[in-house]
């Protein structure tokens, strides 16, 4: 997926300039002689091609649009397909079955099934609602491995709320043939009437302040799945026996990320994220607009998210439970009492204010020299220029500052 490519531009005096691009997004000269286009090898595209995992080689294959099309290691091979918008719509993985001289076809087929089940290989199809993964289905000859999972999110966000599980494959409409001309009355996509079917299980997500799933609770209110995360998203999962029987599982990780069991990577809409190293394996499609480090995930994974794999953003409206820029002030002032970054006189002042509140002499905390009788400007809680109150950042993103300097910031900086 490329950005900021203008097929044409309107110039002065109503003249129009047409532009043509090759599949790599390079501007072509319309006056140049027609000849085969030389595309640079994948290494020049700055995407990961190979890596060693405990001495074993892993290979990555990319298309001209910087999309991962194949993953291969000593265990399996996984192929990926995408739609016109760059969203992943299919994954097909198959385990490597070592040759066994003298083995019959039935034994080889059974061995292939065993290895596929061991590495969770198979064919998956994905459906989308905009940039949100709406459903996935696993196709299998074994009825026990078939599943159709729908995902539901908080409105306008990537934070999951619930999932439903059906032990069946998604019924697809056969692609029609229009050799004799198209007519809407003969189009099965328009004539098909889907029938609502009951689901076999339902589970609800319990997420942390980042919107990362921590637990899944089933219809009985019991924990069916839980995850323990390292700082950069590498998860250790735990599923109960009932969740295994009901096919309840959770591939969702950080906001907008989907965990591939075959590769260990997180599909993140426009890119793939490696939680073991905390970075993307391909460069940012929007270049330096997403940051100077085109492989970085976020400055701090404990307070930032990147649902699209393009640009990280801070999650204050989530971690503050929807609070606005002028909330949580007293909470922040209380925290100053034990903040080692604050001078000792500030910490002492806050502790003294807390004692006055305990004895009933005061109802709220003041900063030094902020009383009505004070002659000096004193201190105020000031937001930083990257976390202004006008964009919804509460007082958790503030520090004590000289009141006069704070006023100058508001007057000049606008925050």
- Please state, as a whole number, how many other Cβ atoms lie within 10 Å of the Cβ of residue 265: 22
Q: What is the pLDDT of residues 195-214, one digit of tens each?
A: 888 999 999 999 998 999 99
Rounded to an integer, the average pLDDT of 86-95 is 97
* More confident site: 69 or 302: 69
Residue environment code for 5-24, b if the CB has 16+ CB neighbours within 10 A, otherwise e: eeeeeeeeeeeeeeeeeeee
Who contacts 348 (Cβ-Cβ below 8 Å, separation ≥6)? none
Three-state secondary structure call for residue 29: coil
Q: What is the DSSP letter of 252?
A: B
Q: What's the CA angle centered on 68, arms 158 and 36, to 5 degrees?
A: 130
The pLDDT confidence band at residue 144, using thresholds 50, 70 and 90, is confident
Taking the C-alpha atoms of residue 61 and residue 233, their distance in angstroms, rounded to an integer, is: 24
Lowest mean pLDDT among 170-174, 318-322, 366-370: 318-322
Three-state secondary structure call for residue 36: coil
pLDDT at 90 over 70: yes
Residue 379 β-bridge partners? 402
Full DSSP string of 266-324: EEETTEEEETTTTEESS--TTGGGG-SSTTB--S-TTTEE-TTSS--EE-HHHHTTT--
Alpha-carbon dihedral sign for residues 121, 125, 129, 135: negative
Taking the C-alpha atoms of residue 393 and residue 372, their distance in angstroms, rounded to an integer, is: 28
Q: Cα-flanking dihedrals φ and ψ of residue 131, to 5°?
A: -100, 5
The pLDDT confidence band at residue 382, using thresholds 50, 70 and 90, is confident
* More confident site: 100 or 373: 100
The pLDDT confidence band at residue 9, using thresholds 50, 70 and 90, is very low
Question: What pLDDT score does 238 carry?
Answer: 97
Query: Edge-to-edge strand order for the sheet containing 266-268?
Result: 258-259, 266-268, 271-274, 279-280
Question: What pLDDT score does 111 carry?
Answer: 92
Q: What's the CA angle centered on 41, arms 40 and 46, to 5 degrees?
A: 95
Question: What pLDDT score does 4 carry?
Answer: 43
| CB 315 within 8 Å of CB 303 | yes
The pLDDT confidence band at residue 328, using thresholds 50, 70 and 90, is confident
- CA–centroid distance for 270 within its chain: 9
Taking the C-alpha atoms of residue 157 and residue 166, their distance in angstroms, rounded to an integer, is: 24
pTM over 0.75: no
Q: What is the pLDDT of residues 270-288, one digit of tens each?
A: 999 999 999 999 999 999 9
Alpha-carbon dihedral sign for residues 108, 113, 117, 122: positive
Q: What is the pLDDT of residues 240-260, one digit of tens each?
A: 999 999 999 999 999 999 999
Taking the C-alpha atoms of residue 55 and residue 58, their distance in angstroms, rounded to an integer, is: 10
pLDDT at 11 over 70: no
Q: Tokens 């950005």, residue?
A: 3
Full DSSP string of 51-99: EEETTEEEEEEE-TTS-EEEEE-SSEEEEEEE-TTS-EEEEEEEE----
pLDDT at 404 over 90: no
pLDDT at 24 over 60: no
* Assigned token pair, 103: 């083995």
Query: Is residue 137 exposed (0-12), middle (13-18) or buried (19+ Cβ within 10 Å)?
Result: buried
Question: What pLDDT score does 102 carry?
Answer: 83
């Amino acid at each position: 997926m490329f950005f900021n490519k203008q097929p044409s531009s309107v110039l002065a005096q109503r003249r129009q300039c047409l532009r043509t691009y090759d599949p790599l997004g390079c501007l072509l000269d319309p006056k140049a002689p027609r000849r085969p286009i030389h595309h640079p090898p994948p290494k020049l595209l700055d995407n990961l091609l190979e890596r060693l995992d405990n001495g074993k080689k892993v290979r990555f294959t990319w298309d001209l649009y910087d999309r991962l099309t194949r993953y291969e290691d000593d265990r399996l091979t996984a192929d990926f397909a995408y739609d016109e918008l760059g969203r992943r719509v299919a994954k097909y993985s198959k385990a490597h079955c070592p040759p066994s001289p003298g083995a019959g076809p039935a034994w080889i087929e059974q061995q292939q099934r065993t290895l596929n089940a061991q590495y969770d290989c198979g064919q998956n199809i994905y459906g989308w609602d905009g940039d949100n993964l709406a459903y996935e289905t696993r196709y299998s000859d074994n009825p026990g491995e078939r599943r159709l999972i729908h995902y539901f999110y908080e409105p306008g966000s990537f934070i999951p709320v619930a999932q439903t599980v059906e032990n069946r494959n998604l019924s697809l409409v056969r692609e029609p043939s229009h050799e004799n001309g198209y007519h809407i009355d003969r189009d099965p996509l328009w004539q098909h009437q889907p029938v609502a079917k009951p689901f076999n299980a339902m589970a609800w997500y319990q997420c942390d302040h980042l919107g990362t799933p921590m637990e899944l609770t089933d219809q009985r209110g019991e924990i069916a799945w839980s995850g323990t995360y390292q700082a950069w998203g590498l998860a250790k999962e735990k599923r109960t026996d009932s969740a295994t029987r009901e096919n309840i599982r959770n591939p969702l990780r950080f906001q907008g990320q989907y965990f591939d069991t075959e590769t260990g990577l997180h599909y993140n809409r426009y890119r793939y994220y490696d939680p073991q190293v905390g970075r993307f394996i391909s460069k940012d499609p929007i270049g330096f607009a997403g940051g100077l480090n085109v492989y970085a995930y976020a400055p701090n994974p404990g307070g930032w998210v990147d649902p699209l794999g393009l640009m990280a953003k801070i999650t204050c409206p989530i971690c503050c439970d929807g609070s606005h820029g002028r909330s949580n002030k007293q909470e922040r002032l209380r925290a100053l009492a034990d903040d080692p970054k604050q001078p000792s006189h500030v910490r002492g002042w806050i502790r003294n204010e807390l004692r006055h509140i305990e004895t009933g002499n005061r109802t709220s905390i003041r900063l030094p020299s902020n009383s009505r009788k004070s002659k000096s400007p004193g201190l105020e809680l000031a937001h930083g220029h990257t976390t202004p109150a006008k964009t919804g950042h509460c007082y958790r993103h503030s520090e004590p500052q000289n009141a006069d300097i704070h006023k100058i910031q508001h007057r000049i900086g606008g925050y």
